[in-house]
Structure 1
């Protein structure tokens, strides 16, 4: 254990030893610590996990993706059908109101969808709607969505990335970002009472929520206070002294130490996030050794993924090794092979055969949430003679190094933005851009073909070819699941399995 980790652990033990029993509190307000303060309640303005939790509580989408069975369910739309090769007609609910009391109707849905694709708005991740040409109003509660081309992702995008906005209120802001920062009004299960950079965000349960159901439950907690507390040790201190009810943690030590306190429970929710190790196979970083297949295979076989997952990654039984880049709940997920098995002797022989009997030097870039895993992997690689060092990078520094071609090995985690289709994963790793350290023409061809068909059987076959080739060539090693881990007071219950990038949703939390 490093000195820094040891001091942190000692601080936690001290807190656990001296803190009083949690005071009995009125079950009116749930207090959640936010590591990264958010400037807007709308995900498009400030995309990150904290905004993902808030946006899903305040705004609704036309459709709902049911995390329990992978089906699309009604939300603000009651039905949808293709009335042409590129035309989707939707009927909308007639009983939904925005938080200010104004009715939701076709004007709002058409405005929101056309705002998303207006190039003047320069929306982050606007490319997710490159299939959308425009939306049109048929009558007050009917719209038509016109596609540029048939897309296998259209309905899924409408279930995850298109929160409906009040047309008259949102369009009234000169800067569209001011809506989410100053006056966010949605139709969701919670309305915003205040949003402030210092005080955080106070959400109040929306009592008029007829669209709530099995797919998106009606919230039960009356008030939720989202409190900005960037420092992890301060979050823990606030939890111990009854200042907050829930924190989100990233290290196994924190989970085990806090979980030993009878006042708290630990909930691990696994969805589609996984840890991985990516290697530069084309020499962009200047490390010639990694260009050799035998070397990359050796590094894969040097790692005991079962031991790494069990000893480093927090989450208890939710942590397990994974063999590919996707999960069954995701559309398009398919694979037929697995990573090369753990075999230290085979790894050493491969290094000798590749011309590195004495090993070589390599740098591992580790992103936030994967620092401990990066250190553990470096230790495993040193056992076979590879002299690995670890650079603990912020997300900003990691992205800069990646763009500059300074990524020899990357240890990180991939959430797919909570999107229930594998297209995002294929694009993240193999998009032939700055993130692509493989530039494999076969993979690029398969990925293009997979986005050009709506036939799910064909899509699964193509994505299996992508993920099988990535495993066979030892480009990227899937290591383990990466559950989101929450420590909270024992009187709070959290349902697991949410695809939200925060790891849960307020509608899935309740007082016992």
Structure 2
């Protein structure tokens, strides 16, 4: 039986190899010092402020620089375009810029560029799509040729995080001349790679910036050229990777990644990302109060029972694989303030049945599990719930439709995921879901008050203490059932030295040929 199963799985792989014979070959790779990569999503613009896609983040890190840089290993904030940075008060930051940094057109970076870019991004009239990344800025003042002050609307301790990952600096003269549309197809930055060719929807060519400033914590780029292609179909990407037309792809499904890993010319790294999966319950009983629905999830015992009923470890190990792991706190473990010493609901169906009986459901109940992705993960959860008497029907919807349904109080249990936009701070996830905003289905005033205080304090120990209190109460009350971390299957040529990181932002400027 096992031999037949393996033979059956090999058929799609054989078809991919056959398909690859008819695909155009890219005469590049290690021998031509050209890294060929592919992503599925088409970018409408290369202006980071007007796209929110992960692909836009990747382009941005290579073509542009931010004021700060977060080390992906130590999580330390380092000066990038900034020579130094400090708080003058809880609503004022002082930045001293490096001197001699050049944009790709030869213009020197000055305070004018920084003030112009950040003021443009923070101004709601400009309607940037990344407004949430800069709406904490009141205004930026130029105080010298290479110095600026950033004035905040209110205390925002995650400012360093947002300045390191979400607000690239553009050349004032060029951007104001060509405008948003012109910059979107012919961008200029200070980054380790300069964009030399753009064919919208098809290809972006980046060449090594030989004048990149030597003290950059990003390091110096090594590979001479990067050709970025848009290939919507993962099967096409895999076929080209196998034949050498591509050198790197990611987000490959686990079963396909396992097959690619067996090929002698490829490396597969199933790296953990900051995205987590979790169940969210209508603990505040919005569905009952607004729609008169019977809502078992308003009872603590039911929420705790579900936490015990689902085998997180099995899903992480057998369905996700790689570096995936179980989690019990409502955040990603590396994020600042993500307390790990919280109530941990081990897999225990007997305990789950006991809790259900104590909550008034000795025979379980019927329900619906809503989700928008990863059907196989949801089906595994449904199987575990059935084992303790909870008969759940799976309803897969588009994310936007599910979000509106939940906000309207019509989705009592949801399987959701959140990647925190690669922001390494609890405020990017826990605060979003537990501060009485539209997606808060707990409405716990204690949790809200702790989070709000932590979100507006620049006292690091105090922030940690407050986030700890909030996350412990969230776990004790089982408002969520945190499940597991996600993995990004990075598949690439054996000739390439490449290291993936949890923020799921590929750093090709650190890659080298073997």
TM (norm. structure 1) is 0.90
What is the aligned counterpart of 1:319 among 320, 324, 332? 324
Aligned to 2:300: 293
Match in the other structure for 1:423: 427
Shift of the 291–143 alpha-carbon distance from structure 1 to 2, 3 Å rule, reads: same
1:93, distance to aligned residue in structure 2 (A): 1.3
How many residue pairs end up in the alignment? 500
Q: Aligned to 1:53, what secondary structure does the other structure show?
A: helix
Taking a change above 3 Å as real, the CA distance of residues 281 and 498 of structure 1, as seen in their structure-2 partners, is closer
2:282 is aligned to 280
| 1:244–1:24 Cα change, 3 Å | closer
Candidates 29, 38, 42, aligned match of 1:33: 38
Superposed counterparts of 1:209-224, under 5 Å: 209-211=212-214, 213=216, 215-224=217-226
SS of 1:482 mapped into structure 2: strand
- Residue 449 (structure 2) pairs with residue 445 (structure 1): yes
Change (3 A) 1:404 1:150: closer
CA contact (8 A) 2:436 2:448 kept: yes
Q: 1:245 to 1:440 in 2, by over 3 A?
A: same
The Cα offsets for residues 422-461 of structure 1, whole Å up to 9 and x where unpaired, read as 1111223213222212111111111111122111111111
- 1:127-152, Cα deviation, whole Å (9 max, x unpaired): 34343221111221122222333331
Q: Distance in 1 between matches of 2:220 and 2:258?
A: 32
Measure, in 2, the Cα distance between the counterparts of 1:338 and 1:507: 41
Change (3 A) 1:225 1:402: farther
* Residue 401 (structure 1) aligned with residue 405 (structure 2): yes
Match of 1:12 in 2: 12
Q: Distance in 1 between matches of 2:286 and 2:297?
A: 10
Instruction: Tell me the alpha carbon deviations over residues 96-153 of structure 1, each in whole angstroms, 9 at most, x when there is no partner.
Output: 1111111111110110111122121122342343432211112211222223333312
Of residues 186, 191, 194, the one that matches 2:189 is: 186
Deviates more, 1:215-224 or 1:83-92: 83-92
Q: Could you list the per-position Cα deviations for residues 239-289 of structure 1 after superposition, in whole angstroms to 9, with x for gaps in the alignment?
A: 233332222125321221221222211113324332222222133354512
| Cross-structure match for 2:62 | 57
Tell me if the contact between 1:69 and 1:329 (Cα under 8 Å) persists in the aligned partners.
no
Contact 1:365 1:391 in 2 (8 A): yes
Offset at residue 13 of structure 1 (A): 3.5
The residue aligned with 1:391 is 395
State the alpha-carbon separation in 1 of the partners of residues 7 and 172 from structure 2: 52
1:343, distance to aligned residue in structure 2 (A): 0.8
2:434, 2:8 → 1: CA distance?
A: 38
Unaligned 5+ runs, structure 2: 288-292
The verdict on how the C-alpha distance between 1:12 and 1:467 changes in structure 2, with shifts beyond 3 A counting, is farther
Report SS of the residue matched to 2:173: helix
For residues 333-370 of structure 1, the C-alpha deviation after alignment (integer angstroms, 9 at most, x for no partner) is 324323322111111222223233332222223333x3
> Please, which of 491, 498, 501 is the counterpart of residue 495 of structure 2?
491
SS at match of 2:325: coil
- CA-CA distance at 1:48 after TM superposition: 1.6
Worse-superposed segment, 487-496 or 327-336: 327-336
Note the C-alpha offset of 1:16: 6.9
Match of residue 200 from structure 1: 203
| Alignment pair present for 1:465 and 2:469 | yes
